[in-house]
Amino acid sequence: MDGYGVNQELRDIIRGVPQTKTLRLVLAAVITAALLCGCSRSDSKFDSKAWKAGGSSSRGAMVQDLTDRGLLIGRTRTEVVDLLGEPDMCGVSTQNGPTVSPAKCSDGKVDWFGYNVVTIPRCNFWKCYLNVNFNSDTYRVEDLAVSD
């Protein structure tokens, strides 16, 4: 009779699960949102070797320290590559505002480097970058920004 009681309890639990498609979707959305909000990273101190060896998540944890300390400001493209490694994307500024056209990183006119980083949960689903912007006359870093 104990086995029958357990089965009855399971049936009661199953009956409590939402039976309509809409309720199931809402429940799935709530669970997904809770998981995404729970994904947090802790900031860590910038370390060149760890940046180069790590993925976009470990890089993302170092972005705040890298920008707060201004470690790249005034550096040349070669110095940036020495510190961060080869960029994931490169570009040349267009004359139509703050946009860049993709370019080969070896192009002498490149004035933007992009490094993949995960600074917030949505960066797990689409690319977020540490944008390293070079002055187009001196080719030294003049600005950093994160596109997330």
Q: Are 141 and 75 within 8 A, CB to CB?
A: yes
Q: Are 92 and 108 within 8 A, CB to CB?
A: no
Q: Are 32 and 20 within 8 A, CB to CB?
A: no
pLDDT tens by residue, 73-117: 999 999 999 999 999 999 998 877 667 899 999 999 999 999 999
User: 137 pLDDT exceeds 80?
Assistant: yes
Q: Is the pTM of this model over 0.85?
A: no
Distance of CA 80 to the CA centre of its chain: 19
Q: Which residues pair with 125 in a beta bridge?
A: none
* Res. 29 pLDDT band, cuts 50 70 90: low
Q: Which residue has the higher pLDDT, 104 or 11?
A: 104
* Res. 148 pLDDT band, cuts 50 70 90: confident
Q: Which residue has the higher pLDDT, 116 or 16?
A: 116
Q: In Å, how far are 8, 23, 45 from 133, measured between CA atoms?
A: 65, 47, 22
